[in-house]
A and B are shown apart, each in its own frame.
Chain A
Amino acid sequence: MNKLLISPSPHIHTRTSTASLMRDVVIALLPTVIVSILFHGWSEIIVLGVSILSCVLLEYLITRFLLKKPSTICDWSAVVTGVLLALNLPATSPLWMVIIGAIVAIGVAKMTFGGLGQNLFNPALVGRVFLLISFPVAMTNWAPVKGFIPGVDASTGSTLLGMVKEGGIEALEGTSYLNLLFLNIGGSAGELSAIAILAGFIYLLARKVIRPHITLSIWLTVFVFSGIMWLIDPSQYTDPVFNLLTGGLLLGSVFMATDYVTSPMSAKGGIIFGVGIGLITMLIRYFGAYPEGMSFAILIMNATVPLINKFCKSKKFGR
């Protein structure tokens, strides 16, 4: 030791860093990723690989050559975006589409705002919604793909929510909740297994990466709202448990609505945010043109976050 180091207090720091938080999110996503690879096979691996690679590469190129700043790929945030984007796409997605999604997600939704922490909307969702609107056919092509588990190849051509939208509630004959909980055949990779997503949720909570407010308030809102509608007319409206377990609701509520950057800071704000997402999702599901409204709901509520932050301040000591 030759020169003393001087700095203002505090002199110690928690081990948690941006990179460790993002890495935890990736770890929490692993069960979902594994399930989707098991059932969708090689095509899912390719979609995932291309999505992650193009997201990370784009972030690197943009930070290095356009923004001329030190590259931020080491913070794992681009990886999170890549995984989430892939989990939001059908396994049959053509690769050019995945790449366009990555360009929109990283290039447009994230870097144009100034990179990590500056974006208003969740990058992966912007990418997905862009693709959904631009290429509706490719984005809803739930054609059977060959998975690694023989016999349970995904075989329907439509998601359950899509079936309800087209054929009414009768189309659901024969689906059991147990099925929904473990294997929700049809849909994008991230919609496959509720259990896998819940495992990730528990991991995130245990590691104190996220707080439960947002996720739980979404679930509660969806449950209560659809419960009321179902009680009014069970022949027209789907029941609450079905609504909780289908579509992108779980994936969105656990991994995308809780994205730090695009969700409110305070617990109170988080609850308002969650209730808003739940309501908008259910309104779109019941009355909208799209079968699923989670992505739109999150993006719409993302836009309200600055306002929520302004008005939902944490309670100050002694005031």
Chain B
Amino acid sequence: MKKTFSIGGVHPNDSKISSGCRIEVLPVPGTVYVSMLQHLGAMANPVVAVGDKVKVGQVIGEPSGFISAFVHSPVSGTVKSIGPRKDLAGWNITHVEIEVEGDEWAEGIDLSDTLVTEIPQDTKAILDKIKLNGVVGLGGATFPAHVKLCPPPGKKAECLILNGAECEPYLTSDNRIMIERSKEIVVGAAIMKYVLGGCPAVIGIEENKPEAIAAMKAAVAELQANAKGYDGISVMVLKKKYPQGGEKQLIDAVMHRQVKSMGLPIDVGAVVQNVATSLAVYEAVQKNKPLITNTLTVTGDCLPMERQHNYLFRIGTPLSFIIDQMGGIPEAAVKVVSGGPMMGKAIVNLDATTVKGSSSLLFLTAAQTVRKEQGNCIRCGKCAEACPMGLEPFLLNKLAKNRMMDELEENAVHDCIECGCCLYTCPANIPLLDVIRIAKGDVIKIIRGRQAAARAAAEAAKAAEAAKAAEPAKVAEPAKK
């Protein structure tokens, strides 16, 4: 019996049309626009000036906080401008515009194809390389990778989970890299496993990717036979079910442990990294190559087979350039999505640029994506059945519309992972997630506010006690809940 997560989930048609398309290297465009906000956290500060000559792999943005990341130039050329440019949702973000001249790489980057299997033994050096090369989680959240690989004191990683589930329909980039770059991914996994203190590593792959499963198993076996430091790495085949690739769901499927509400994976001893992140870690640590390329799927039911692609692109390539390369937007498409159809973002601005986390350009037709008219809730409970977090979307929807914040919190709206199962499954086409997402934000704000107030109160109490001198301290009771 193949494993999967225990609550809810849906089975949309997986539509992995482009899974057989080999990764092609996308040409470098004439101009790239590198966003300074390609990761979760604080925006990076540009460290180049207009007119500067940059090389491929040169740092052009530095992190501006603990949770932030380095940004590197994906091309060599001249910085044309630094300023606001609209991202794919239409918001202004600082971008560095670089006009491409040649392809000159910065020093110290190993451009050869040789597989380096020997794992360096200096944890600090490895982490520094991951950080300096701007590696972020490529599973969607783009959380800086080095932060996740340093468990907070007192917590120990018991299992490294490599996320190869790729449960979103249509997406095939992870599938392709698992087939074509399997050994590199396994080396990356071994490096991360070493950093985490040698815990076992499990590569979780959904059953609908047999080729990737075979390739990864072969790579693990080969490396285990020929090199040191690869013990304890295994491939686990998972049942096909969305959202298996959700961090909490994957941990549940692989380790049978459930991360508590508002908790982190490390609380149950898990660290989850995407297979693409593992590849980036390999390149960063073994080749000293910064994260300046990623794989992107171009797909959609309205595209003929020969126009389905998996591209290796330079980060900063404008979407419009990719669309030109693949031959324009198909007639039938009404929506272009960056990411999968369940959690991806609809693109409003096709001139926007690709970022580290770009994983696909998905073209959807009107029949697939236009929402049907909303009907009455028939209380079928299908949303609650589908919710992988065990929530009751029908109830949350009602509470959110009446702005009942206490009840929303009681019913754990803040646990929502925005996977979209409820809206996907609702036979009455009620925009459950649209409403719940907003309520979730509000409730999290309330919870954070309360926590901050409690902290402040505790600190004030502490200060007062300190002032009272050596009298036995009475621990300030943090505000309830």
Contact = CB atoms under 8 A, between A and B. Distances in A.
A and B associate in one complex:
yes
Interface of A: 1, 4-14, 16-18, 20-21, 72, 75, 77, 115-118, 211, 260-261, 264-266, 313-319
Contact of B384 (A1, A118, A261, A314): A314
A117 B337 contact: no
A316 B389 contact: yes
Given A266-B381, A316-B412, A4 B392 contact: no
Given A16-B425, A316-B415, A117 B370 contact: no
B481 interface: no
B29 interface: no
A13 B261 contact: no
Contacts of A9: 341-346, 418, 420, 433
A6 B378 contact: no
A11 B427 contact: no
Contacts of A313: 392, 411
Nearest to A6: B346
Contacts of A317: 7, 248, 252, 258-259, 261, 388-390, 415
B390 A11 contact: no
Contacts of B248: 317-318
Query: What 5 pairs across the A-B complex have the smallest Cβ distances?
Result: A10-B420, A265-B381, A117-B376, A318-B258, A316-B390
B124 interface: no
Given A4-B335, A12-B424, A315 B169 contact: no
A69 to B, nearest CB: 10
| Chain B interface main SS type | loop
A12 B15 CA distance: 12
B259 A318 contact: yes
Interface of B: 7, 10, 12, 169, 248, 252, 258-261, 263, 329, 331-337, 341-348, 350, 362, 364, 366, 368-372, 375-382, 384-385, 387-392, 394, 411-412, 415, 418, 420, 423-425, 427-429, 431, 433-434, 437
A304 B70 CA distance: 59
A15 B297 CA distance: 25
Contacts of B394: 265
Name the residue in A16, A260, A318 with the highest tally of chain B Cβ atoms < 10 Å from its Cβ.
A318
B424 A14 contact: yes
Contacts of A8: 346, 431, 433-434, 437
A307 B415 CA distance: 24
B423 A10 contact: yes
A6 B10 contact: no
A6 B7 contact: no
A265 B377 contact: no
Contact of A11 (B369, B375, B377, B380): B369
Contacts of A315: 7, 390
A115 B346 CA distance: 35
Contacts of A265: 379, 381, 384, 392, 394
11 contacts: A4-B348, A4-B350, A9-B341, A11-B346, A77-B378, A313-B392, A314-B384, A314-B392, A317-B261, A317-B389, A318-B263
Contact of A72 (B261, B368, B376): B376
